Chain A
Amino acid sequence: MDIETFFQNQNNKKQLKILTCGSVDDGKSTLIGRLLFDSKNIYSDQISQTKIESEKYGTQGKQIDLALLIDGLQAEREQGITIDVAYRYFETEKCKFIIADTPGHEEYTRNMVTGASNSDVGIILVDATKGILDQTKRHTFILSLLGIENIIVAVNKMDLINYDEKKFKDIISSFKNFSSEFNFNLQKFIPISALVGDNVFQKNSNTTWYNEKSLIDELEEISLNEPLEEEIFSLPVQFVNRSSSDFRGYSGTITSGKIKVNDEVQVFSSKEKIKIIKILTPKGESDFAVTDQAVTLTLDKEVDISRGDLLCSVKNHYYFLSDQFASHIIWMNKEQMIPERNYIFKFINFQTIGKITDLVHKVNINSFEKIASKFLNLNEIGYAKVALNKNTIFNPYKNNKKLGSFVIIDQFNNQTVGAGVIEHELRRASNISWHQMSINKNVRSSINGQKPCVLWFTGLSGSGKSTIANIIEQKLHKLGKHTYLLDGDNVRHGLNKDLGFTDVDRVENIRRISEVSRLMVDAGLITIVSFISPFKSERKMARELVEIDEFIEIYVDTSIEECEKRDPKGLYKKARSGKLKNFTGIDSNYEIPSSPEIILETKIKSAEELADEVILYLKQYNKI
């Protein structure tokens, strides 16, 4: 075969991304090993290496353990389980496959979601000896949630049930029973044995009753939806290309539709209309470009466009500009999701601060029941309302996976803590507008001869916050200043008496206090807040509610040993004996401020001296 024909064939091959999922011992790695082995995509040195390892870790006696070809990481080889997403590549005459191999255990749901996010087809493995398990249901649900349209249910280990047709049919009907509400375009059932290779590549005489295609034939024939002619063009601007000369181009990957030179498009946020002059594709300058191409466009006029903007067809009904939307969220972190806490939301070409305002329900991913809940734990999926700090462009996930998906990042430890798919917009935010009053903060505070601010005390219980805060308020009062002291314990008797001490309630406690202190600052008062406020993110939220120079964070630095020794309310004693749960410093975390405006060390100075330090600070910064 000459090389040109070879490449012609290569270029005609379809690219198919597949995900294998199933319960822990259903034989996923064996199946993938079988696919690689039978498609002759394994080199002989890899086979001999695997033989060496089979003797050490294998589960197939003298035979080569195909799963060991796949289980890449040392820990997995030792434990015999797949703990992360591994990507594998093989090809046949018609197709180039990229397989995401993901773990079966419930505690690795997040890895499965990761693998599913980039897949076209899901292969759900069912162990013929066990039938449909909770995991089968969970995986089917996740595939449906992530918009995977083609699924193949491979009933594995048929060799162990003597290729019994009736058992196979029973599994099909129980699968259909639970999955009736999911909308898959294509749903196929194939009896296989990955271990011996039945119906994977070759049809097998052991299953003469099975008249349909083998797994690989079925995969090769799946047709992916080609972009529709009339599909809306969209290009999230990723990078602005400005060379030293007068070149200015807008780069990004086309997420839907196509574009031609001279087409008119709009900058979605400003609705400004522009014309395409040049299209630079990876293959050079071109008259047109299509979905999935990474391009650079030049335009007929200079407009203000930067990373985060979206260029799209002038006519489009799907996109919306809003700061709120409803979405399904998959939680991926050990620390639970807390409503009203600020997180970073990263979309295809921008990121912004936002929060999950309401968890409408969470889903029992094994029974699909909707359950009322305030928060999500690791691997849980919920339906929630999200509010962002700024108006942003969206398209529901079902219309465009790339514009309708996001990940959630913790702003302190930078972990990817969750992921979401947008269902629809919420308009509520834009319907409530802010009334501008004639008498404002500046007018109010000028009468008092002071600049309003928040003195936010944070520290362990018993550290001396309230004592010092009380002295400061007295001193300010003597100076004729208008103040208000919000004390943690006192507020819990009224405004916050419905809240307990779980992490979720602590966050809500601080959110309310932050809002109240914002109102007090607006009223022109020097507002003193004395709360344990253990979490960085809530202190940051309080800080962001007022102007930059209006928030003075005061860390009352007293060690836990010292607080416990003082124990003015006897709380530490109770907590130690287990009578008091979720006590900060004992069984609930206190996050020390990294850069507070003031640190008060109670070990060195008296409360009176420390209060004077704060007064001095206020004078230095012209607050009083």
Chain B
Amino acid sequence: MKLSHIDKLESESIHIIREVASEFDNPVMLYSIGKDSSVMLHLAQKAFYPSKIPFKLMHIDTTWKFKEMINFRDEIAKKYNLDLLVHINQEGVQNNINPISSGSKIHTDVMKTQSLIQALDKYKFDAAFGGARRDEEKSRAKERIFSFRDKKHRWDPKNQKPELWNLFNTKIDKGESVRVFPLSNWTEIDIWQYIYQEKIPLVPLYFSKIRPIIRRNDMMIMVDDDRLKINENEKIERKKVRFRTLGCYPLTAAVESDATTVEEIIIELLDSKYSERQGRLIDNDQIGSMEKKKQEGYF
């Protein structure tokens, strides 16, 4: 029997997940509710079957996620009996940090990056899984699978530990941690193929439906609740749209689409001319912006 490309990726990821469970005292899996997180969760369940996943999951809730994401999260946690923590940066909430008036940069920094750091410190996690892939963004292409973070959770791209064969240096001092990316070698099409083959449940937002949107900065933004103030020159349209990537709703652009199933999404993807991160406003703040965010502690 010959293993296919996807079979190899699957086993590689399971190996990485088991390695973390064996070598760290207090790992956590960061669950962002998106498709990559869903694949990562599915792989973790396989890695330890028939036992339960031997670590907690954690969602960093910015309070601006789509409602459907939160519903989906809670359903999945119940269905699979997951040990799920939800962390919100209360300080940010009190200071009314939000993506609209504070701007994407401050909102992401306070409610995502700082919130994540708060939670990691609070629970003293020594390893945190993330669903990032190297094909997503140029600075991610250079990050290790086991990516070291100092006591202040910073990434130093110029001082990464060499990673050879499948031997991972898991030695850290107290207070330091690693971010682990089991999906490093998967591409977007691999993820979709796997979701299709394994019938992995996804947030309905990935599938096309008529949704209320407004047009702002050349992007279609969904009106998910009344916190999104509609300007005078804007009007709510009802469009058949879906999301290629999920984040905070005012920062996540919808795309017009007729794809209502995974098959149709894959066909659409094969024809598409735009890469998936384009739907995210945060990357284009400035050239090299993802790299800067990562150095500060962002996933």
Residues in A lying within 8 Å of B, measured CB to CB: 3, 6-7, 10-15, 43-46, 52-53, 56, 70-75, 77, 83-89, 96, 98, 110-111, 113-114, 117-118, 226, 238-239, 241-244, 247, 251-253, 280, 282-283, 288, 290, 292-294, 296, 307, 332, 344, 346-348, 401-402, 405-407, 409, 411, 414-416, 419
B2 within 8 A of A: yes
Which residues 247-299 of B sit at the A interface, judged by CB distance below 8 A?
263, 266-267, 270, 272-275, 278, 287-288, 291-292
Once the chains are docked, how many angstroms separate the CA of A65 from the CA of B203?
Answer: 39
Chain B hits for A244, CB < 8 A: 51
| The 4 A-B residue pairs with the shortest CB-CB distance in the complex, in nearest-first order | A72-B138, A243-B51, A294-B14, A43-B275
13 CB contacts below 8 A, A to B, read A15-B5, A43-B272, A43-B273, A45-B275, A70-B138, A75-B157, A87-B142, A241-B48, A251-B47, A282-B7, A402-B165, A409-B171, A419-B162
> A397 — nearest CB in chain B belongs to which residue?
B165
Q: Given A348-B167, A419-B162, A43 and B291 touching (CB < 8 A)? A: no
Contact (Cβ within 8 A) A11 B184: no
Contact (Cβ within 8 A) B169 A243: no
Which residues 136-180 of B sit at the A interface, judged by CB distance below 8 A?
138-142, 157-158, 160-167, 169, 171-173
Chain A hits for B11, CB < 8 A: 253, 282, 292-294
Chain B hits for A70, CB < 8 A: 138
Q: Given A72-B142, A290-B3, A110 and B162 touching (CB < 8 A)? A: yes
- What's the nearest-Cβ distance from chain A to residue B167, in Å? 5
Q: Given A74-B291, A89-B187, A251-B18, A15 and B8 touching (CB < 8 A)? A: yes
Contact (Cβ within 8 A) A239 B22: yes
Once the chains are docked, how many angstroms separate the CA of A87 from the CA of B184?
Answer: 9
Contact (Cβ within 8 A) A73 B157: yes
The range of chain B's interface size is 35 or more
B209 within 8 A of A: no
A interface SS class: mixed
Contact (Cβ within 8 A) A89 B157: no
Contact (Cβ within 8 A) A407 B5: no
Contact (Cβ within 8 A) B52 A290: no
B86 within 8 A of A: no
Chain B hits for A98, CB < 8 A: 185
Contact (Cβ within 8 A) B3 A293: yes
Chain B hits for A74, CB < 8 A: 139, 287-288, 291-292
Chain A hits for B123, CB < 8 A: none
Once the chains are docked, how many angstroms separate the CA of A73 from the CA of B278?
Answer: 19
Contact (Cβ within 8 A) B164 A407: yes
Chain B hits for A56, CB < 8 A: 287
Residue among A15, A226, A244 with max Cβ neighbours from chain B (10 Å): A15
Once the chains are docked, how many angstroms separate the CA of A536 from the CA of B52?
Answer: 42
Chain A hits for B48, CB < 8 A: 241
B10 within 8 A of A: yes
Residue among A12, A44, A72 with max Cβ neighbours from chain B (10 Å): A72
Chain B hits for A346, CB < 8 A: 167, 169
Once the chains are docked, how many angstroms separate the CA of A293 from the CA of B15?
Answer: 9
B35 within 8 A of A: no
Contact (Cβ within 8 A) B46 A282: yes
Contact (Cβ within 8 A) A226 B185: no
- What's the nearest-Cβ distance from chain A to residue B106, in Å? 21
Contact (Cβ within 8 A) A243 B50: yes
Once the chains are docked, how many angstroms separate the CA of A96 from the CA of B161?
Answer: 27
Contact (Cβ within 8 A) B22 A3: no
B49 within 8 A of A: yes
| A239: contacting residue among B12, B21, B141, CB under 8 A | B21
| A45: contacting residue among B15, B263, B274, CB under 8 A | B274
